[in-house]
Structure 1
Amino acid sequence: MGVHRSARCRGPYGGEGHQADGTDCSDPAVFEVARHHRPPLPVCPVHLGPSLLLAAGVLWPPQIHLIGRAPGLRP
Structure 2
Amino acid sequence: MIFVDPQNTSRACPVCGKVGERLRGHVLTCPCGVRMSRHAAAAVNIARRGVEFLGGLGLRGRGRWATPVAGPLASG
Rg larger in structure: 2
* TM-score computed with the length of structure 1 as normaliser: 0.27
Q: Identify the structure with the greater helix proportion.
A: 1
* TM-score computed with the length of structure 2 as normaliser: 0.27
Q: Identify the structure with the greater strand proportion.
A: 1
